[in-house]
Amino acid sequence: AQSVSQHNHHVILSEAASLELGCNYSYGGTVNLFWYVQYPGQHLQLLLKYFSGDPLVKGIKGFEAEFIKSKFSFNLRKPSVQWSDTAEYFCAVSRYGNNRLAFGKGNQVVVIP
Amino acid sequence: EPEVTQTPSHQVTQMGQEVILRCVPISNHLYFYWYRQILGQKVEFLVSFYNNEISEKSEIFDDQFSVERPDGSNFTLKIRSTKLEDSAMYFCASSWLGEINIQYFGAGTRLSVL
């Protein structure tokens, strides 16, 4: 079964700092890659996705992620965070042709004003 | 923006009781899913559902679990005889035919089994 790894479960940083969250997956075939965000008390929302094409994808709220196939990675970045980015961030992977999502454990990000 | 809605937000039940968790997917969506997240663990896939039947289920989804689309709007997850280890956050998701790989999630139902 595929697995998804996210490290540094708790991240605390100040406003305007840069954020990078790592995501690695174990499946060797073609994959679809996602980052979801869950703000306090809210539902999981899609931040960005990669299916094919340009490995650098841009999502909402200034987030971007880079797919590096050779490293089985899909790291999330934001150059300058805001207090409103305080949330839990989940990386998820599905195999091509299959909708079943495998999630990482999540990163709890706290941005201090 | 259309949302997946789940009720109740918190369900408390006694061990051995049956519970039904309810979800209203986005109206034009045709693919439905249940996931769960035990406290401190990953979100785990339970089941996917399309065209009134289960498309795929995980090893977690044993005979204690069932899903149903009783009418045109609701999608339910039933746990027949709850166990302590069923305590978790249960998420419903849906996707539409034009973009089946993108799942839209509800806010979840927290199930507490006492």
Indicate if the pLDDT at residue A94 is higher than 70: yes
- Is residue A85 classed as helix, strand or coil in its secondary structure? helix
Mutation test of the interface with chain B: which of A44, A98, A103, choosing the one with the most B Cβ atoms within 10 A? A44
* Alpha carbon of A2: minimum distance to chain B alpha carbons (Å): 12
Residues of A in Cβ contact (< 8 Å) with B41:
105
**What pLDDT is recorded for position A2?**
67
Confidence of residue A1 (pLDDT cuts 50, 70, 90): low
Amino acid present at A97 = G
pLDDT single digits (tens) A41-57: 889 999 999 999 999 99
End-to-end Cα, chain A, rounded Å: 40
What ranges make up the beta strands (E) of B1-114? Answer: 5-7, 10-13, 19-24, 31-37, 43-50, 53-57, 65-68, 75-79, 88-95, 104-105, 109-113
pLDDT-derived band at A65 (thresholds 50, 70, 90) equals very high
Q: Could you tell me the pLDDT band of residue B104, with boundaries at 50, 70 and 90? A: very high
Distance CA B77, CA B67 (A): 5
